[in-house]
Structures are given as structure tokens and as C-alpha cells.
Structure 1
């Protein structure tokens, strides 16, 4: 028996060796397969065999054209733990495919030497979010203490050194960019480097230094920046105003006021900067000064800012309304202040009869802004006068009514071939004709898709006049009265404005639709059809008027959203500025799901609504790597405060864009940071000041964020 066992064992061993050799031969043959998945599987199988001689095969596979093969090769090289493969894995860490980058990072963690760690640390600052997150995991796997803090600090140092070198040795355009980037770091050393540059002979470099100082947030720079408002270079003055606005130092009020009052191209920026400063008696007085004495745009902006600050002294307004030289200033202040200037109404009403057209229009706007219904009879009387004045100008010189449809060959929306069929000129030939046919087919397909989706296409309005020979400026007085009649809800205004809603003049049509929107639910119903007009200015004015009216108008805009395609931005902008009802969530979720620029505005609104039913939609949007609305989606999730979003939001703490990292940290401060404290603590050494501050704020709130999110 014992003599028979040994030959059997030898035979079985030979069979197994022969089988393994045959399998290996097949794997080597598979490495030459034209199919990438077969080559990848062969690399994976060979790696499991652990044959040191196969290292050369894996090295060759790392150069394969297919990313799936390169990924398997990276893992195989890592399993070898051979120090010689570190450089090759470092190259794979820069691969164009993110999956290969991640697998190369994890492979480097298995080598566990200083060179592998150096590759991982260096590439963290050069890669996108997913790879950065894997690099941190790889360093943790290699038992590197404080892995994320180390790579964040290394990235911060690299950015600082690069910008500092560029500022000292780069070309002028490069130095401009470096100056701004140094300021964004918020470091004291950056402020010290930039302060001498604000007086540089190269204006664009001086302006960049000023912008950088504004981003740095160090108020030491105010003393150096404020005198630059007296310079004659618009770019430098604009940069200085922006920086002073960011630095929020009340000591700059008087200098900003001087610029706001000079009626120059940068005056409006200065007025806005004053309004953005912390509120104080000095800033209120400065805004009232601009409202009463500034140019039209600055005065209106300053006065509107004072609406929520209890307005300006009525005595000052009344004084200007009684002096001919300053009447218009007083009226503009009333327009901006609106209802808080109610006490000035008795001084405004007599000006409705002013012989000066400009004053009369301002008086109408002022009465409408105050919104006192007792002024309606005076405005109705003025309507009759303005109508009588414009009727001769608008007299039809063709008495017969014009057709409501285009004649044969004249419809601009008709196919090119059909238009040429009725044309006396020869149709286009050659490539031009083919292009026209192609565009016709595209328009037809787009129209068909819109119909199938239930969307209404905005079409050009068929003209009801051969030629509108009255200049729009001459119709503005009547238009102002129409808007005022709607605002004051004057008796009979609904029917009157409906009559103008189809007027041939876009000026009067816009005024009538805006007036209707201000008449309440019935007026909103009559006006909302105007959103399908092709004139963009009309659409914007009407959308804003509807949104300003509260729930009725906002519901109308929300109901129109599914019917619009490219024009959605007009509706969403109005809802973003004036709010939306809670029932808007479903329509807004659809917009977010469609992506594009519209998704950013829709996410903003959903965040303010704290729409918990939108969390899943927003999380799905975060999963889109190329989403242009990522920052807004993150902030919206933070506003909603649902803790189930924390993990997805936290991934963007690794994002390569500082704005996204800051938004993720801000969102986590509201959602809760219990499991993200390590990453947030690491970001306290981030290069960018706004990221550091957002991370610090999130950590400071870590004890209360979860409670607040319930």
C-alpha cells in the first residue's frame, strides 16, 4: 500500500503543474487580446498568482490604451509592494481617468515608503474631488497620522509659494493674478506684500492688489485704499470701492459718500457699498443724502435701502418738493422710499398737474410707490389728460384693420422653401440652401418636442400696425399712469388695462400687463398670458410684477414653469428675488433635475423654502460631476438641514474648488458635523480664507447644528 501512494502523488503533482502552466499560457495569450475586458481580466488573474517575474507584464499593461486595463495594472503593481513601481504608479496617479487615479493612489499606499507618500501628498492639490478623497484614504491606509491635515497644509504651502514666486518674477498679467490670489489667502504676510503695490505705476497691478486686500479681510488696508477713491483711473476706483465694501469699515463712509454724490460711472457702486456697510446713524444719514441729492439711479437705490430703515426725515423731502430746482430729487426719494414716505403724499399730489412732463411722470411713480388708494381719483383724471394728448399722435393712417396672420411667403417662422416658393427672387442654392433646410428641420423638431412636453413656444407677435410712428418716450407718461392705476387698484382699472394688454405699442402693453398684475388674483389671471410675449424686457417686467404681488402672482409663475424651456430664467429670477409659495417645490425640483443654469436659481428658492421633499432631488444633483449649480445645491441642503444629506455634502469638503469647499462647510454647520470634524479641522489650514472661516464656523456650531436641524 505505501509503495503505491508515492507514484500516485507524483502523478497528481505533475497533472496540477501542467494544468497551472496551461492556465498561465492562456492568461499570457489573453494579454494580447483585442478586447480590453479580456486583457484586464488576465492582468487581474496573473496578479493573484503572485509571480515576481510578472512585474514586467504589469508595467507594460500600465501603458495600455484602455483605462480598465491600466486600473487593473495599478492594483497589480501595488500588490507587488516593489519600490521600483513607485514612479510608474505616480504617473498613473496623473492618468486622465479618475478611476485609474484612485486605484493608483491605493496602490501607492501599499508600498509604504517616503517616495510613495510624497507622490500622494503632491498630487492631492492637483486632482479633482474623488481622487483627493481616495488619496486621503490611501494615506490613512499607510498609517500616516493626520492624513488630510497634512495634504491640505502641503497644498496650501504649494499655492502660497507659487503665487509669491509669480508676484516677484512673473509677467504683468501673471503678477495681476498672483496679487489677487495672495489676497484670497487672508494671511497677514499677504497684506504686507500687497500694501506697497496699491501705489504701483502699473494701474492694473495696483487694482489687483486692492482687490486682493479686500479679499484678505484685514482692516489695516482701509487707510491705504480709501485715498485711492480720489484717483482718476476708473478701474482703480472700482476696485477700491469693492474692497472697502468687503472690509466693512465704517470709517470709509464719508469717502464713499463723496463718490456716490459725484454722479460718475462708479457712483452707483459707492452707493451700494454704503448700503452694505454695518448700519449706523452715519450710514443712514449718508444714504438719505444720496437719496435726496444723488443722480437718478443712485438716489433710487439709496432710497430703497432706507425703506427697511424707517425712511428719511420727511421734513427734508417736503422741503425739496416745494422748491422748483429740487422737485425731481424729492420725487425720486419718494419713489425709492415707497410707503414709508406716506406723509409726503399731500406735497406730491399737486405735482400730478405739473406742466413739465418729467416732473409729472415722477409724480405718478411717486404716488404709485406710496400706494395710497385715496390718490386714485387724481390719477384717473391725469389718465384722461394723457390719453387726450397721445390720441392725435397715434391716429391710424390706414383705416382698414390689418390681417391677423402673415401673408404667403412673409411668415418669418415658415420653412425657407415655403417662403421662397412665394418669393419673386430666386431661391438659394448650394450649401446655403442645405443649411436653411437643416435649420428648418431643427426648428421643427424642437417645436415638436416642446408640444409633446406640454411647453408653449414663445413666438413673435404679428404686428397690428404697419409702422409704430410714435416714439416710445412719448408714450411713457401714459404708460406710467397705466401702471399707477393698477397699483392703486383704481375703480374700473381692470377692464381699462385689459384693453391695453393687446396694444400695438410694447411700451403701453408692458405697462398694462404690469398694472394688471398689481390688481390682485383677477388681474394676475388676465396678465400671466403676457409671459408668452417674445419681448424679453416685457417678460422681465411682468415676471417681477407678478412675483411682487405675493402668493397669487408667485403661484402663476410656478404654474408657467413647466410650459417654458429656455425662458425659465426670467421666471426663476423673479421667484428667487421675491420668494415662492411652499407648493412650488414640485416644479422647482423638476428644474433642478433638468440641470443647467436654471438649477442654481431653483435650488436657491428650495433652500429658502426649507423644502424637505426636495432633499433627494438635490442629492441626485450633487451626484452630477459637471453640475454648474453645485454650490447652490450645497447651500440649499444646508438651509433645509436634513441630516441624511450630511455624508453627501461632506464629500465636497475634498473638492478642488475653494468656493465649493466653503459651501460644503457652511452647509454642514447647519446640518450637523458629528462625523466630519476631522475633515473640517483639516480645512482650518486651507489656503483660502473663506474656506478656513467656513470650516471654523462649522466646528464652532458642531454642538448645536444637529439640534437645530431637527
Structure 2
């Protein structure tokens, strides 16, 4: 009898216990604490009670994301066909964690499976990286063949259809945006749509079509766009230049050259475009023409680019140098070409003795850039003449001999009665006396030639117009660049000059003066004058390793000015390996500076920077993400492939393209399926980065109409 009663007793005990536990969970699902509610939902889902579906449906509307996430998981486990629409709504939840739970739940739904897959496919193109990755995993779990290729194709088709509709039926702002986005697809069908629009009467729409054609990468657009360089609308011309730069067709170099030498607002853009083209005889000829006839900044940039290409033909430049009317352009070209124009030095040096101050100053700049030390004595004489030319101003300034000691009433060493005013004995009077003593000492030495010529007093320099000091400033830089005898001491004297023109020139000259000069310039880099910083940063960057290390050393002490230094470093050869630690520090700080620092680390191939770069990818909002990915690809560390591969699912095409580019450089075989799927991406830049043939029309692969 007792043997029969005991099992029944135990069963009743368990039933009462379960009911008690369930009652507790039902109470906890209404607890004010979200973590308690979420745990209750999870435990109730484990009991697999169909009556709880209404509780999970209510929890899916909870204010807390963790509760909604557990509700999504519970709804998926229910396998009830009625929950598909609710899970589809949760796919659009503002919380990415909830989106991921909803995606996994939809993948588990067996009943109404087609509708669940449709939700997943539709939402792929609307969600962020984490959810997109989960959607692909969910579809793979649901046995969908080539799941990523499927969702990429669906996204591509949706974008194409939407942009095409906006272009044909939208308002003007919508048509402008659609023209650019259709161009980014790179499809021949998009090019066919946009080519007739480059002549549209609405300039804003025509400019958008031109920009779209630039992104399309179709060579058919080069000729029609090049014709637009003759237009008078600035926006249209600027868009045309930018598009030609992206199309990278050297046949447009001649037309761009004409714009570059017209010295208009868009001339710098035209020069930049030619500088990016692959080297051909046409591009070389265009750059040489700009070096002669462009505005000063463009001419110097073009000439500098031709240095590494062997320079420009000497005959046209020599012809310009033979005539006063055209000598300025010839001197300008020599300044840009620098050492590659060494053969033209005999044609340049006669202009150092010309009475025309403009030509003489251009000649000084030219011989300075050529860098032939044999000209240094001539520059020293010119410097002395320039100082003598300012002597007339000096004579009017203080004509009499200066005292060699203080008068009693001004001597700061003489005690004064208590309460007496001493304003005249200190401050600017004492400083002035010291400067006048220095001037007297300089006058005493003028009778004999000295290694270090006298300086212009700062007070006098301040009273002279900056334009009149340009010849002197050019000579200061030249003396430093050619390492003239005594130039170091002379330039050190000007390094603290109150006149900004003379001081900047002296500091640039000091960059050539070895460690002592470089250290003085590095200290000046920390001053708030942004224009001075730019000038000195470029001068230091051109001095090779010593100058680059000085720039790198200044980075930790700088704020937003870091971009000036990093930009200068980006214009020259990669910094030495010892710069890696400091550049990594900039990456850790984030911001726009981190993007340039990451790019430099990639150029350097700094393998020690890989952990820092990978850590930077943890910040989902980093503006440097693209550059960090490209840097990792340039370094080529295959161990980074898994982390980099996650960004193949990113919602921004430029990030997907960067991740694909990096992975292909790593050549690790990671994410091969995802890379193959991205060959059907809507955006041309992503397809090309993933390995698709640039000219291939992938519209049909993506499922879009042509």
C-alpha cells in the first residue's frame, strides 16, 4: 500500500512546485526591473507553453531592449506562424541587439517560412552591419542557397529601382540625388541614362549627371565631359574636373591643361587632376606647360611632380629665360623643377643681378630650389645689398651714434627712491637699449667683411611693408638652403624676429641647417599661427628622416593642429619606423587625425601597429574606419582577416569596399563566399574591390532591370 501511495505523492508535490514556480515567473514578468522581466520571459519560453504566446507578444512591446530581445527569441521558439509579422517589426527595432534576435528567430520559423525569408531579405538592405551579418547567418541556417548573394542581389535591385524611379518621376532635388546614385552603380544602363543629361538646361541636374558619370567609370563619358570644361558655369566646370579625375583617362590632359593655365578658381583642381593621371607623354607635356604658364602654386606643384620624371625639356624654358618679357615664367619653372633643372643654372644666374626686384627675387627662389652651393657667395652679396637698401630707412630711424651705457636716470641698476616711478627704466626702454647696442656693434663691424652680416632691427622691419621685405625673406631662405657660411647664426638671429615674413623665411632656411636648426623649427611648430605651421611642416617634411622625426615628435604636444603635421608627412615618403608609436597614439585618440595617421602606418607597413588598428575598429562610429581597414590591408597581416571581414557586411559602401580591398591584399582566403557575393553589389566601387571586372555590367546578376 505504501509503495503505491509514494509515487502519487511525489507527482502531486512536483505539480504544486511547478505551479508555484510558474506563478512566480508570471509575477516577475511584471517586475519594474527590466533584467528581471527579461529573465522571466526566457524561463517561460523554456517551458514551451503555448498559452504564454500572448505574454511574449506583450513583452515584444516592452520599453526595455533586453526584454524585447528575449521576447523575440521566445516568439521564434514558439514556431507559431502568427508571430512572423511581429518578428518582422522587431527587425526594425532601434536596438541592434533586438534586431539580431528577431533575425535569428525568423530563421527558425518553419511554418510560413517563405514570408520569414522575405522579411530577412528585405531588411538586409536597411539594417546595420551586425544585423546584416546575423541575417545572412539566419538564412544559411534556414538552408537558403548562397544566402549573402541572395540578399546582396535583392538590395541591389531595390536601390536600382528606387533611384531609377526618382530620376524619371521625382522632383528636382530627388533627380539630382538619383543621378549621382545611379552613376555610383557603374552600370552601362546608368551611363546611358546620364549621358544625355550632361547638356540639361538645369545646370544643377547636369552637374549631378556629370558627377554620377565620374563614379560610373565608363570611358564613354570622357569626351562629353571634357567638352564641359569650356562652359562658363563654375559648378559644371568643377564637376567636370572632378569626374575626369575619377575617370583617370590621360586623353583629357590637354583640355585640363588649358584650364590649369587660365589662372581661374578651378585651375588648382585641373592641375590636381592631371597630377593623378598615369604618366604618359601627354600628361608630362601638360605638367611642363603648367610649370611655365600656370599660377605660382600650380606651377610649383607641376614642376615638383616632374622632378621624379626627369624634368622638362630645357629648350622652351631657356627661350623664356632669354627675354625679360618672359623671364618670370622661365624662373618659375626652374623653381618648380629644382635639381632636375641644374643644366639651366647658367641661364638663371644672370637674373640675380637684374635691377628689377621681381625678377631678381624669382631668380633667388630658382637657384635656391636648384640647390647648387656655388651660388651661395652671390646670395651673400645680394643679402648685403638688400640690407644696405634698407639703410636709408635705418638712417631716418636713428641717425646719431648710440650711447654705450645708460644715463643715470635710466640705469636700472641705480636704486630709486621708494615710490618713484620707474616706467622709463624698464620694459620697452630697456629692451630698446639692448637692441640699439646690438645695432651699434653691427655698425662697428661694417668697415670689414664679416661672416655673419648684420640683421635688420625688428623695430625697423615692423615699419616696412611686408611686400618690400619679400626679397630679403627669399634671400634668407636661400642662404639657409645653400648652407652659406655664417647662415646658421644669421638665421638664428631672425628666428625670433617680430616681422612674420622675415621670421618664417628664416625658420624655413633653418630646416636645412642640421639638428640645431631643425630643433628651433620644431619648437616654432607649437605656436598657434596656423599658416606658419603649414609652411614649416612642409619644409621639415622635405628634409628627409631628420625633419620627419621632428614633425612626429611635435605631434603629442599638439591639438587640432595635428592635421597640419600629418598632412605634410602624407605628401612625402613614409616616415621612418620609429614614428609608429606616436602615430598609433594619434589613432587611439580618434577623430579626423586618426584617419591620416592610420594611412601613414599602412604606408610604413608597421606590423607593430596591427593591435592598435584592430582596436580602433571597435568604435562603430569612427570617422577613420575606412582608412584603418585600408591600412590593415596594406600591412598585410593575415591574422586581421577575420575582424576585417566583418565589415564586408557594413551598410556603407565605402566601408565594404575598403574591407574587400584589405582582404584581397591579405590573400588569406577568409570570407571568400562573402567577397564573391559582393561582386553583385549595387555600388561599382564595392564590386571592383571584391574582384569583379570593372567594366562588367552586374545588373542582371543583381536582379535589377536594365
| Unaligned segments of structure 2, at least 5 residues | 403-423, 430-457, 695-706
Distance of aligned partners of 1:395 and 1:566 in 2 relative to their CA distance in 1, 3 Å threshold: farther
1:530 maps to 2:527: no
Larger Rg: 2
What is the distance in 1 between the residues matched to 2:521 and 2:256? Answer: 42
Correspondence 1:74-223 to 2 at 5 A: 74-112=72-110, 113-223=113-223
1:576 maps to 2:562: no
Bigger drift between 291-300 and 672-681 goes to: 291-300
* Higher relative contact order (CA closer than 8 Å, sequence separation 6+): 2
Distance of aligned partners of 1:561 and 1:261 in 2 relative to their CA distance in 1, 3 Å threshold: closer
8 Å Cα contact 2:526/2:557 also seen in 1: no
What is the distance in 2 between the residues matched to 1:321 and 1:120? Answer: 71
| Unaligned segments of structure 1, at least 5 residues | 406-463, 700-710
**TM-score (normalizing by structure 2):** 0.87
Bigger drift between 546-555 and 256-265 goes to: 256-265
Measure how far apart 1:133 and its partner are.
Answer: 0.7
**DSSP-derived class of the 1:532 partner:** coil
Distance of aligned partners of 1:204 and 1:54 in 2 relative to their CA distance in 1, 3 Å threshold: same
What is the distance in 1 between the residues matched to 2:394 and 2:148? Answer: 73
Measure how far apart 1:239 and its partner are.
Answer: 1.4
What is the distance in 1 between the residues matched to 2:603 and 2:104? Answer: 41
8 Å Cα contact 2:648/2:674 also seen in 1: yes
Distance of aligned partners of 1:565 and 1:402 in 2 relative to their CA distance in 1, 3 Å threshold: farther
User: 1:279-303: per-residue Cα shift (whole Å, max 9, x none)?
Assistant: 2222222222222233333322322
What is the distance in 2 between the residues matched to 1:664 and 1:283? Answer: 32
**TM-score (normalizing by structure 1):** 0.87
Correspondence 1:380-395 to 2 at 5 A: 380-390=380-390, 392-393=392-393
8 Å Cα contact 1:520/1:549 also seen in 2: no
1:619 maps to 2:617: no
User: 1:513-558: per-residue Cα shift (whole Å, max 9, x none)?
Assistant: 1111122223212322111222111111112211211111112222
Q: Which residue of 1 aligns with 2:664?
A: 669
What is the distance in 1 between the residues matched to 2:130 and 2:391? Answer: 68
Bigger drift between 286-295 and 682-691 goes to: 286-295
User: 1:24-82: per-residue Cα shift (whole Å, max 9, x none)?
Assistant: 11111111111111111100110000000101101111111111111111110111011
Q: Which residue of 1 aligns with 2:465?
A: 471
Q: 1:506 aligns with which of 496, 500, 509?
A: 500
What is the distance in 2 between the residues matched to 1:609 and 1:313? Answer: 34
Q: Which residue of 1 aligns with 2:24?
A: 26
What is the distance in 1 between the residues matched to 2:592 and 2:605? Answer: 21
Measure how far apart 1:697 and its partner are.
Answer: 6.4
User: 1:336-384: per-residue Cα shift (whole Å, max 9, x none)?
Assistant: 1111000111111121222222212211110111011111111111111
Distance of aligned partners of 1:362 and 1:467 in 2 relative to their CA distance in 1, 3 Å threshold: closer
User: 1:240-266: per-residue Cα shift (whole Å, max 9, x none)?
Assistant: 222222223333233223323333322
1:631 maps to 2:626: yes
What is the distance in 2 between the residues matched to 1:401 and 1:347? Answer: 56
**DSSP-derived class of the 1:325 partner:** coil
**DSSP-derived class of the 2:491 partner:** helix
Distance of aligned partners of 1:270 and 1:672 in 2 relative to their CA distance in 1, 3 Å threshold: same
Q: Which residue of 2 aligns with 1:547?
A: 541
Measure how far apart 1:100 and its partner are.
Answer: 0.9
Distance of aligned partners of 1:275 and 1:542 in 2 relative to their CA distance in 1, 3 Å threshold: closer
**DSSP-derived class of the 2:493 partner:** helix
Measure how far apart 1:92 and its partner are.
Answer: 1.1
Q: 1:495 aligns with which of 489, 493, 497?
A: 489
What is the distance in 2 between the residues matched to 1:498 and 1:609? Answer: 34
Q: 2:559 aligns with which of 561, 565, 571?
A: 565
8 Å Cα contact 1:666/1:698 also seen in 2: no
Q: 1:594 aligns with which of 581, 589, 596?
A: 589
